[in-house]
């Protein structure tokens, strides 16, 4: 049978971004050749003993409680499991001095789901045929944003400014406010903070400026806080979650040890929350109540925030330091390589200025020496102009062991040096 796909069916059945390259990576790792590879592509968080024990303890408590049947054996509200909603609201109101009510929150099957329903509730064509755009104010950003709009042409990203740090071979992206446009044609704004893939953290002032640009047009600003405080607290640089009338603060518990339970949290203006909830009701009724029930226990006890700050964050911060040190030691100083400042998340982002080959060709060369990063071009969804920079970057996962990171960076340095030397020799 070969059923005909609709326009939306065709859109949603194509792999986008990293998911396309991951097919090649997974086939490599599953093949006989995959033995001995240093896999620096992984987005799965490391299963840390303390976090696994936390979820085991919360599960045991749920199993022994009278709530178990109500949680697992019944449907629930589309908004979410009430004890979980109350736990999150109490924690955020106390922690950040807020005055949120349960009208300001929605629980979804993962934060990716939030961006899908938001992109198609506020982006795309209106009743009168006008296109409402989904604006990514700073590119590169999370590759998954490329797959969320049903109307592909609604997605628009902006190039950043690139600031070279005073420390040699370091840099940082910033929004280019001289180019960024948010106007009556904008449906929503979306960005991650800390950023997957770069580890960039937009400053408080940058977030507030973006929100201020969107305010006159009634445009919601979705802040993807999957790596932010208070859980999983994967910000290495100090940062404050920003709340405001048009800001929708979006949380995921995936990097806090629950990726399999698909738990996303949207916090913001009740009119936006109501629209998202109605969309969710039509799609899937509600998120997993089991995951919400154990997460409610972890948040209410304070254990999740404690482990996030004192176990999860230090673990990945130490991994970044290992990678940073290995690159400084191994990479030739004369090559224009730049590591993005490590401000958060579970990845490092390497820019090879004037790379003589494409990022995908470099990825293939690195596979030949047993190292698998992710080519950077997939992390520029919505960028509508050709930019050589998009083909000069690699995302490197911090989930490997210290030894793998050190060995991998030395092998990478050798391949990069040979690549630049070969190009110089060919040119002469």
Distance CA 292, CA 86 (A): 11
Tell me which residue of 214, 225, 196, 269 sits closest to 42, measured CA to CA.
Answer: 196
Mean pLDDT of the region 289-296: 97
Give residue-wise pLDDT tens across range 142-169.
999 999 999 999 999 999 999 999 999 9
pLDDT score for 341: 98
Distance CA 74, CA 221 (A): 34
pLDDT score for 30: 77
Res. 427: pLDDT tops 90: no
Of the pLDDT bands very low, low, confident and very high (cuts 50, 70, 90), residue 120 is very high
Residue pair 220/245 in contact by the 8 Å Cβ criterion = no
Of the pLDDT bands very low, low, confident and very high (cuts 50, 70, 90), residue 48 is very high
**Residue 7 corresponds to which tokens in the numbers above?**
């326009």
Residue pair 146/126 in contact by the 8 Å Cβ criterion = no
Of the pLDDT bands very low, low, confident and very high (cuts 50, 70, 90), residue 17 is low
Query: What element of type H or E holds 305?
Result: helix 303-307
DSSP at 152? G
Tell me which residue of 109, 115, 136 sits closest to 198, measured CA to CA.
Answer: 136
CA angle at 44 for the pair 411 and 369, rounded to the nearest 5°: 15
Q: Are strands 186-192 and 131-136 parallel, antiparallel or unpaired?
A: parallel
User: Bridge-partner residues for 397, per DSSP?
Assistant: 347
**Residue 56 corresponds to which tokens in the numbers above?**
């085991």
Res. 279: pLDDT tops 60: yes
**If you search the block for the tokens 């590879």, which residue do you land on?**
37
Give residue-wise pLDDT tens across range 214-255.
999 999 999 999 999 999 999 999 999 999 999 999 999 999
Mean pLDDT of the region 184-204: 97
Give residue-wise pLDDT tens across range 391-423.
999 999 999 999 999 999 999 999 999 999 998
Of the pLDDT bands very low, low, confident and very high (cuts 50, 70, 90), residue 6 is confident
Peptide bond into 113 cis (omega under 30): no
Tell me what percent of the residues of the chain surpass a pLDDT of 90: 88
Mean pLDDT of the region 281-302: 95
**Structural domains in the chain?**
7-47+306-422 (3.90.1150.10), 50-305 (3.40.640.10)
Res. 16: pLDDT tops 90: no
Res. 33: pLDDT tops 70: no
**Tally of CB atoms within 10 A around 369:** 14
Distance CA 251, CA 240 (A): 14
pLDDT score for 18: 67
Burial letters 287-311, b for 16+ CB under 10 A, else e: bbbebbbbbbbbbbeebbbbbbbeb
């Amino acid at each position: 049978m070969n059923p005909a796909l609709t326009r939306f069916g065709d859109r949603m059945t194509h792999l986008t971004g990293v998911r396309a390259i991951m097919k090649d990576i997974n086939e490599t790792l599953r093949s006989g050749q995959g033995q001995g590879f240093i896999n620096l592509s992984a987005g799965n968080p490391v299963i840390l003993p303390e976090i696994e024990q936390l979820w085991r303890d919360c599960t045991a408590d749920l199993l022994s409680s009278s709530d178990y049947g109500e949680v697992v054996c019944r449907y629930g509200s589309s908004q979410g499991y009430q004890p979980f909603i109350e736990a999150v609201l109490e924690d955020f109101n106390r922690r950040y001095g807020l005055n949120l009510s349960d009208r300001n929150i929605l629980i979804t099957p993962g934060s990716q789901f939030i961006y899908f329903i938001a992109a198609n509730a506020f982006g795309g064509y209106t009743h009168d045929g006008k296109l409402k755009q989904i604006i990514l104010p700073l590119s590169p950003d999370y590759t998954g944003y490329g797959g969320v709009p049903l109307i592909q042409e609604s997605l628009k990203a902006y190039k950043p400014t690139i600031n070279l740090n005073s420390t040699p071979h370091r840099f940082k992206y910033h929004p280019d406010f001289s180019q960024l446009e948010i106007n009556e044609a904008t449906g929503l704004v979306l960005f991650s903070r800390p950023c997957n893939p770069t580890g960039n953290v937009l400053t408080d002032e940058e977030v507030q400026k973006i929100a201020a640009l969107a305010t006159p047009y009634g445009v919601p600003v979705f802040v993807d806080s999957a790596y932010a405080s208070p859980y999983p607290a994967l910000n290495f640089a100090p940062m404050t979650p920003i709340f405001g009338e048009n800001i929708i603060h979006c949380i995921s518990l995936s990097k806090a040890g629950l990726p399999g339970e698909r738990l996303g949290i949207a916090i913001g203006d009740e009119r936006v929350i109501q629209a998202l909830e109605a969309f969710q009701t039509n799609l899937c009724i509600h998120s997993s109540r089991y995951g919400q029930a154990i997460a409610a226990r972890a948040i209410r006890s304070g254990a999740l925030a404690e482990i996030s700050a004192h176990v999860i964050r230090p673990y990945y911060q130490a991994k970044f330091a290992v990678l940073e040190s290995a690159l400084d030691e191994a990479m030739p100083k004369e090559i224009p390589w730049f590591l993005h400042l490590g401000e958060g998340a579970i990845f490092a982002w390497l820019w090879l200025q004037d790379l003589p080959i494409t990022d995908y060709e470099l990825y293939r060369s690195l596979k030949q020496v047993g190292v698998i990063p992710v080519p950077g071009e997939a992390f520029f969804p919505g960028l509508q102009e050709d930019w050589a920079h998009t083909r000069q970057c690699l995302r490197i996962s911090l989930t490997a062991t210290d030894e793998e990171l050190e060995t991998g960076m030395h092998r990478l340095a050798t391949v990069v040096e040979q690549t630049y030397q070969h190009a110089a020799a060919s040119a002469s």
